[in-house]
Amino acid sequence: MTGPVLSVRNLRVEFPTRHGTLRAVDDISFDIAAGEVLGVVGESGAGKSMTGTAVIGLLEPPGRIAGGEVRLKGQRIDNLAGEALRRIRGRRIGMVFQDPLTSLNPLYRVGEQIIETMRTHLPMSEAQARRRAIELLSEVGIQGASDRLDSYPHQFSGGMRQRVVLALALCAEPELIVADEPTTALDVSIQAQIIQLIKRLCRERGTAVMLITHDMGVIAETADRVAVMYAGRIAEIGQVADVVQRPSHPYTKGLMGSIPTLEGSETRLVQIPGSMPRLTAIPQGCAFNPRCPQAFARCFLEQPAAVFVGRSEVACWLASATPVQGTP
């Protein structure tokens, strides 16, 4: 049995500020296996991007990893810096962000950028890299790839640019791809195409994917497992079908009910009162307690740790109280 591609243990990300230290990511643990898509979902400010950024070592100071470890195929990468980190990024970890223009240099033709990245990381001749770049662009669905190689990023539409970014993320054949809101800026018809593409590439190449999004629909379509984040912690993590169809955490339940769907009824949506707390005002105990319909005394005093409920792990005192069920 081989171990996970990515393994994150007790990760903490902190920002020292004038008003004290803010904890954006608080004790997060998860694994991603080869060929698996882990969805990371949550509302804005939940800490999704901070988790992703910490994994790829791109936290901007004063933000810092204050605890825990990140391992890529068993090797610790959270304590790497400078050249050692740069070698891993791009080569072993590919990245896709919401705005494709953050990953593309507007001054260079897309072909040059892909070829350059490949040759930095892999022993390849210019001609080999060029051939491979054409293959990659066709693979991500760019028509007439050999002609488009010489186009500049601004000559592509938003959806096409995101395909180019995917090609760029894949070109050095990384073991892991971290994609932060890769479809959020795209129209639905284009979004559906990009989702299919990510899924197919992951399946065909056995790449592990960390897919960060606020859109539960995208997760349901794409991910194998999902981590639901709330106020810097994982509220619930498990198989997508379990979490989506039988959520256990009160927050996940509320969240699922509040999302309008084509299949649901047309009546009122489930409403969670209030909104997520700011980092400066995280409630004591369970951070969800002011909004939770089931909160009881203990929730206001102690933070719940994750326990198994079926195949999912759930951080809620109600789950801790129910007897642990065996794996079905």
* Contacts to ligand ADP by CB under 6 A: 15, 22, 24, 42, 44-50, 63, 279
Q: Which does 140 bind (CB under 5 to 8 A by kind): ligand ADP, another protein, ligand SF4, none?
A: none
3-state helix, strand, coil in the chain (%, to 5): 35, 25, 40
Closest of 216, 114, 204 to residue 165, by C-alpha: 114
Q: Does 51 bind ligand SF4 (CB under 6 A)?
A: no
Q: DSSP assignment of 73-94, as one string?
A: TTEE-TT--HHHHHHHBTTTEE
List, as one string, the DSSP characters of 188-219: HHHHHHHHHHHHHHHHHHT-EEEEEES-HHHH
Binding partner of residue 148 among ligand SF4, another protein, ligand ADP, none, CB cut-off 5 to 8 Å per kind: none
Contact between 121 and 175 under an 8 Å Cβ cutoff? The reply is: no
- Show the site string, 226-265: x = touches ligand SF4 by CB under 6 A, - = not: -----------------------xx---------------
Q: Is 269 in the site for another protein (CB under 8 A)?
A: yes
Q: Which stretch, 41-49, 233-241, 265-273, 287-295, contacts Mg ion (CB under 5 A)? A: 41-49
**With CB cut-offs between 5 and 8 Å by kind, which of ligand SF4, Mg ion, ligand ADP, none does residue 272 bind?**
none
Strand partners, 236: 228, 314
The verdict on 304 binding ligand SF4 (CB under 6 A) reads: yes
Nearer to Mg ion, 49 or 103 (CB): 49
Q: Which of 7, 49, 51, 53 binds Mg ion (CB under 5 A)?
A: 49
Q: Are 52 and 178 in contact (CB under 8 A)?
A: yes
Of residues 85, 124, 190, 282, which one binds another protein by CB under 8 A? 190
| Cross-strand bridge partners of residue 210 | 38, 178
Does residue 284 touch ligand SF4 according to CB under 6 A?
no
Q: How far is the CB of 166 from ligand ADP (least distance, A)?
A: 20
The pair of three-digit structure tokens given for residue 248, joined into one six-digit string: 């256990």
Beta-sheet pairing, 225-230 with 233-239: antiparallel
Run of H or E including 241: helix 240-245
- Adjacent-strand bridge partners of 95: 178
Q: Please report, for residues 26, 42, 123, 161, 232, the alpha-carbon distance to residue 280 in angstroms, rounded to integers and kept in the order given.
A: 14, 18, 49, 37, 12
Rule CB under 5 A: say whether 289 interacts with Mg ion.
no
CB nearer to ligand SF4: give 90 or 247: 247
**Secondary structure (3-state) at 157:** coil
Q: With CB under 8 A, what is the number of residues at the site for another protein?
A: 45
- Site residues (vs ligand SF4, CB under 6 A): 249-250, 286, 288-289, 292, 294-295, 299, 304, 316-318
- Site residues (vs another protein, CB under 8 A): 43-44, 141, 157, 159-160, 187-193, 195-196, 214-218, 220-221, 240-241, 244-245, 254-255, 257-264, 266, 268-273, 275-276
